[in-house]
């Protein structure tokens, strides 16, 4: 277990939460029903719900604009028992949704927290649809990109995350008199009374003196920690391979929760996706492009080998989950796609631009990228020279290709691969590096079913709530990429916190 001191240091804070009366703070002279730290996927619904119930809300956000990861998110949501499902004759329930998550995660999701999320998810989807959210054609679907559900319960708008954000902003505008927002403002310490109840926070805007804000309750909705390589590795045991969407997500919310007496869990459930082409060999790296790895969309012509030049799975394995788990065990979660000139010129399109750009690469663009000496693209006249260019043992790569070619000739691949279009033997030879990674934060603050941050003994910290990615994917869906189990729980939990705070008066 990572020590509290190390986590606080990695999150960039050494101070504990401050007890009243506050040291040298400039009093704001105003009290709020709910102080929300982070105006993104969870924070905005919390503000809307609180204001609708007659409460007064203050949102502080480190970023210069509200929205958080919704600006970059694919906007994938999931829910069971929605009106749309009933209209389409789809039988589904929150219990079935939770069972499906536990099937996908191999019973590693937190049943209490994931159960709370799916129990109220349909209300969230119905609310968004009532406000005019458009969905992609054919939605709901069983999934997009990762291991699918057994039932069609995944929803996504063509406008992705920004489309959801627009609806939240419209709803927030209708509550403008009750909600104040402060961007480029960080909460640096929580205020606790002598009994440990959270009473507000000390906040600092760019270049200004710290200000003390008092509130009946505080919601930590400040996002994850995937812009903090040291903290990410401390919590998961895995380096941060992929550069973050949001630079402000450095783990400040975890620091605040820890300083108030909370704890962090879920990082042990880390899982990488099956990889994309990195922009550089150093990490964290941005995504440069993507290969079509789903055999249901494109049957593979290439070999997949690890950094030692060895195959580790059948390239046409239909289960995304099995591919992801196989890659998790490989050195640095890296692999190369290896192919020859015949595959380059005859196979279906392999590479697509990474979002937000789109479009398939033609052969000319692919050859041009090899010629440009991009660090992830290597080519050579022989397999031995290709191995040297990729840093692999030459004898292993040559042996791997020979073994595959023997399987092609016999129609019986050793790994059970079924699509065997031709042997690899026409020079020149090519290799493209891929990196497994995750853009998500897996560890997060522990909460109970009321979404209060809790201590290690399970007792709630009065006045302190948490929602959104600060809870961590490892709690919400365990060791899997269950579709829609980040955006929907954040939206849902934010709303539930706002309603609870006002119901408790």
Give CA torsion, residues 495, 86, 136, 175, to 10 deg: -30
Please check the confidence at residue 427 and state whether its pLDDT lies above 70: yes
- pLDDT at site 430: 98
Residue 215: strand pairing partners:
32
Q: Range with the lowest mean pLDDT among 28-32, 107-111, 421-425?
A: 28-32
Residue 201: strand pairing partners:
190, 213
- Residue 290 to residue 305: CA distance in whole angstroms: 17
- Residue 407 to residue 417: CA distance in whole angstroms: 9
Q: Contacts by 212-215 with C-beta closer than 8 Å and gap 24+?
A: 212/22, 212/25, 212/26, 212/27, 212/28, 213/28, 213/30, 213/32, 213/35, 213/58, 213/60, 214/28, 214/30, 214/31, 214/32, 215/31, 215/32, 215/33, 215/34, 215/35, 215/58
Confidence grade of residue 145 (pLDDT, cut at 50, 70, 90): confident
> Region 148-168: what's the mean pLDDT?
97
- Residue 118 to residue 307: CA distance in whole angstroms: 40
Domain range 4-268+440-503, its CATH number among 3.90.950.20, 3.30.300.30, 3.50.50.60, 3.40.50.1000 = 3.50.50.60
- Residue 315 to residue 294: CA distance in whole angstroms: 9
Which of these, 450, 457, 459, lies nearest to 113 by C-alpha position? 450
- pLDDT at site 418: 96
Residue 287: strand pairing partners:
278
| Strand ranges of the sheet holding 334-340, from the earlier edge strand across to the other edge | 303-306, 334-340, 429-435, 377-380
> Region 337-355: what's the mean pLDDT?
93
> Region 193-208: what's the mean pLDDT?
93
As a whole number, the mean pLDDT across the chain is: 93
Percent of the chain with pLDDT over 90: 88
Residue pair 36/58 in contact by the 8 Å Cβ criterion:
yes
User: CB neighbours of 4 closer than 8 A, spacing ≥ 6?
Assistant: 258, 263
Confidence grade of residue 246 (pLDDT, cut at 50, 70, 90): confident
Please check the confidence at residue 169 and state whether its pLDDT lies above 50: yes
Q: Where are the domains of the chain?
A: 4-268+440-503, 277-435
Confidence grade of residue 18 (pLDDT, cut at 50, 70, 90): very low
> Structure tokens of 124?
């969230």
- pLDDT at site 244: 80
- pLDDT at site 8: 62
Residue pair 195/463 in contact by the 8 Å Cβ criterion:
no
Which DSSP category does 285 fall into?
B
- pLDDT at site 155: 98
Residue pair 179/59 in contact by the 8 Å Cβ criterion:
yes
Percent of the chain with pLDDT over 70: 93
- Residue 463 to residue 282: CA distance in whole angstroms: 42
DSSP H or E segment with residue 475: helix 473-476
- pLDDT at site 27: 42
User: CB neighbours of 29 closer than 8 A, spacing ≥ 6?
Assistant: none
- Residue 456 to residue 262: CA distance in whole angstroms: 7
SS3 453: strand
> Region 237-254: what's the mean pLDDT?
92
Q: Range with the lowest mean pLDDT among 227-236, 237-246, 380-389?
A: 237-246
The model's pLDDT over 290-328, given as tens digits with 9 standing for 90+, comes to: 999 889 999 999 999 999 999 999 999 999 999 999 999
> Region 177-187: what's the mean pLDDT?
93
Give CA torsion, residues 154, 160, 162, 163, to 10 deg: -70
Name the one residue in this structure whose structure tokens are 């979404």. 451
Q: Indicate the burial class of 192 (C-beta count within 10 angstroms; 0-12, 13-18, 19 or more).
A: buried
- pLDDT at site 11: 64
CATH 3.40.50.970 fits 277-435, yes or no: no
Phi, psi of 488 (to 5 degrees): -65, -45
Please check the confidence at residue 151 and state whether its pLDDT lies above 90: yes
Q: How many C-beta atoms surround the C-beta of residue 317 within 10 A?
A: 20
- pLDDT at site 293: 86
Name the one residue in this structure whose structure tokens are 């663009």. 365
User: CB neighbours of 224 closer than 8 A, spacing ≥ 6?
Assistant: 249, 251, 440, 441, 444, 469, 470, 472
> Structure tokens of 392?
């692999």
CA distance to 87, 278, 306, per residue, from 303 (Å): 45, 19, 10
Name the one residue in this structure whose structure tokens are 């290799």. 431
- pLDDT at site 29: 52
Phi, psi of 432 (to 5 degrees): -125, 125
Residue pair 279/234 in contact by the 8 Å Cβ criterion:
no
Higher pLDDT, 126 or 2: 126
Please check the confidence at residue 282 and state whether its pLDDT lies above 90: yes
- Residue 266 to residue 242: CA distance in whole angstroms: 19
SS3 189: strand
The model's pLDDT over 443-466, given as tens digits with 9 standing for 90+, comes to: 999 999 999 999 999 999 999 999
How far from chain centre, in Å, is Cα 72? 11
Please work out, in degrees rounded to the nearest 5, the angle formed at the alpha carbon of residue 327 by the alpha carbons of 321 and 333: 140
């Amino acid at each position: 277990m990572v020590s509290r001191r190390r986590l606080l240091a990695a999150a960039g804070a050494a101070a504990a939460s401050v007890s009243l009366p506050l040291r040298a703070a400039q009093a704001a002279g105003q009290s709020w029903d709910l102080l929300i730290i982070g105006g993104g996927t969870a924070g905005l619904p919390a503000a809307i719900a609180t204001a609708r119930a007659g409460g007064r809300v203050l949102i502080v956000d480190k970023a210069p604009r509200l929205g958080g990861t919704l600006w970059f998110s694919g906007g994938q949501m999931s829910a069971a028992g929605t009106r749309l499902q009933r209209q389409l004759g789809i039988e589904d329930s929150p219990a079935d949704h939770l069972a499906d998550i536990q099937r996908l995660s191999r019973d590693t999701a937190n049943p209490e927290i994931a159960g709370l999320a799916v129990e109220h998810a349909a209300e969230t989807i119905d609310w968004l649809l009532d406000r005019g959210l458009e969905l992609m054609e054919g939605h709901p679907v069983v999934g997009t990109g990762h291991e699918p559900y057994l039932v069609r319960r995944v929803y996504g708008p063509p406008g992705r995350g920004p489309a959801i954000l627009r609806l939240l902003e419209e709803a927030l505008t209708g509550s403008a008199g009750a909600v104040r927002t402060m961007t480029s403002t960080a909460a640096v310490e929580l205020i606790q009374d002598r009994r440990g109840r959270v009473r507000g926070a000390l906040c600092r805007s760019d270049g200004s003196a710290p200000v003390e804000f008092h509130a009946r309750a505080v919601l930590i909705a400040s996002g994850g920690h995937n812009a903090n390589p040291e903290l990410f590795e401390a919590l998961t045991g895995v380096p941060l391979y992929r550069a973050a969407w949001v630079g402000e997500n450095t783990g400040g919310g975890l620091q605040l929760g820890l300083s108030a007496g909370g704890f962090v869990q879920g990082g042990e459930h880390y899982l990488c996706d099956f990889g994309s082409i990195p922009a550089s060999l150093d990490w964290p790296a941005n995504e440069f492009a993507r290969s079509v790895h789903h055999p249901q969309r494109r049957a593979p012509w290439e070999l997949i080998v690890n950094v030692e030049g060895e195959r580790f799975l059948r390239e046409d394995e239909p289960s995304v989950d099995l591919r992801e788990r196989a890659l998790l065990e490989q050195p640095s979660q890296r692999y190369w796609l290896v192919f020859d000139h015949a595959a380059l010129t005859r196979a279906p399109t392999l590479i697509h631009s990474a979002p937000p750009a789109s479009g398939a690469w033609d052969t000319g663009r692919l050859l041009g990228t090899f010629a440009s000496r991009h660090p992830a693209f290597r080519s050579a006249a022989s397999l031995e020279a290709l191995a040297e260019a990729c840093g692999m043992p030459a004898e292993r790569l040559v042996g791997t290709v020979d073994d595959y070619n023997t399987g092609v000739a016999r129609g019986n691949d050793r790994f059970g691969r079924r699509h065997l279009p031709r042997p690899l033997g026409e020079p020149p030879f090519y290799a493209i590096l891929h990196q497994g990674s995750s853009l998500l934060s897996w560890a997060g603050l522990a909460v109970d079913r009321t979404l209060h941050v809790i201590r290690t003994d399970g007792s709630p910290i009065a006045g302190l709530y948490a929602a959104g990615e600060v809870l961590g994917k490892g709690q919400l869906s365990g060791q899997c990429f269950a579709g829609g189990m980040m955006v929907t729980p954040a939206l849902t939990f934010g709303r539930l916190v706002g309603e609870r705070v006002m119901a408790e008066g």
